[in-house]
Amino acid sequence: MARPDLNLLVTLDVLLEECSVTRAGERLALSPSAMSRALARLRRATGDPLLVRSGRGLVPTPRAVELRERVRGLVEEAEAVLRPAPELNLATLDRTFALRASDGFVERFGPELVAGVGGAAPGVRLRFLQKTGKDARPLRDGLADLETGVIEHALPPDVLSRPLFTDRFIGVVRAEHPLAGAKVTVAGYASARHVHVSRRGLTEGLVDEAFAPTGRRREVVTVVDGFGAALALARGADLVATVPDRHTANLRHGMRSFPLPFRSPEVTVSLLWHVRLDADPAHRWLRERVTEVCHFD
């Protein structure tokens, strides 16, 4: 079955309002002959004459009267669909956004983000999801609206990103640790006991790659899956936690931080989202809030 020409809805709407082929043609910038052909097509499509001669004018048939309000509503709805989205009203915005991020990101930037979003848009709720891997499926399937992380490989074409900040690794120990208060050397760093962060349970990572040119190895005695856990262990025992500086700033109160005695590895943390949400005004607004929190921290 052939699909109907939906352009005829606009023509029918104007014809039923004007009840005149000439006036309808003037409104639609069509000649009287073109309007007559359009009316003929509408009669064939509906199986009804729609407008019939009465004296010197045209009057609607009962079927046309029945269709008038329905057609008007359909045309108005179509016009609304094809208009640009209305201006974002934060005061009335009612929406929940899921942000997939590491515990360290939530601990560091979450409180300020929640406060800023809540102050500007009281009806917006943020749901933080634990990030256990780098699979893009949660973004693609709509389970997460945004994601933060370090991009290690080329992203799929349907995932967009922007850099948030670059972070440099530092060493952290408790105040009572032998390395606290002293300039940490390569030998001192190598001789200490270390807690390593790896979601996959590995005992080596970026820090060990950067440390390798010194010809030494560090002794990793425990592995955890988050920076907060690493700092908690270092706070309670003589362990060195090597963590990103900005990521963990509010988790290190009362502890001693020191620059690494070798070229410190750097990571760039990015914000990721699916291309289908790129033009969404509310989503764009939230992306800007996340960027501001990270840039102006």
Q: What is the topology classification, in CATH, of domain 95-161+271-295?
A: D-Maltodextrin-Binding Protein; domain 2 (3.40.190)
Q: What is the topology classification, in CATH, of domain 166-267?
A: D-Maltodextrin-Binding Protein; domain 2 (3.40.190)
- Tens digit of each residue's pLDDT (9 = 90 or more) over 29-76: 999 899 999 999 999 999 999 999 988 889 999 999 999 999 999 998
In the chain, domain spans: 7-81, 95-161+271-295, 166-267
Domain 7-81: top CATH class: mainly alpha
pLDDT of residue 103: 80
pLDDT of residue 185: 96
Same fold, 95-161+271-295 and 166-267: yes
Per-residue pLDDT band at 186 (split at 50, 70, 90): very high
pLDDT of residue 81: 83
- Tens digit of each residue's pLDDT (9 = 90 or more) over 220-246: 999 998 888 999 999 999 999 999 998
Per-residue pLDDT band at 12 (split at 50, 70, 90): very high
Per-residue pLDDT band at 1 (split at 50, 70, 90): low
- Tens digit of each residue's pLDDT (9 = 90 or more) over 256-286: 999 999 999 999 999 999 999 999 999 999 9
- Tens digit of each residue's pLDDT (9 = 90 or more) over 150-181: 998 889 999 999 999 999 999 999 999 999 98
- Tens digit of each residue's pLDDT (9 = 90 or more) over 77-119: 888 888 777 789 999 999 999 999 988 889 889 999 999 999 9
Tokens describing residue 110: 């979450």
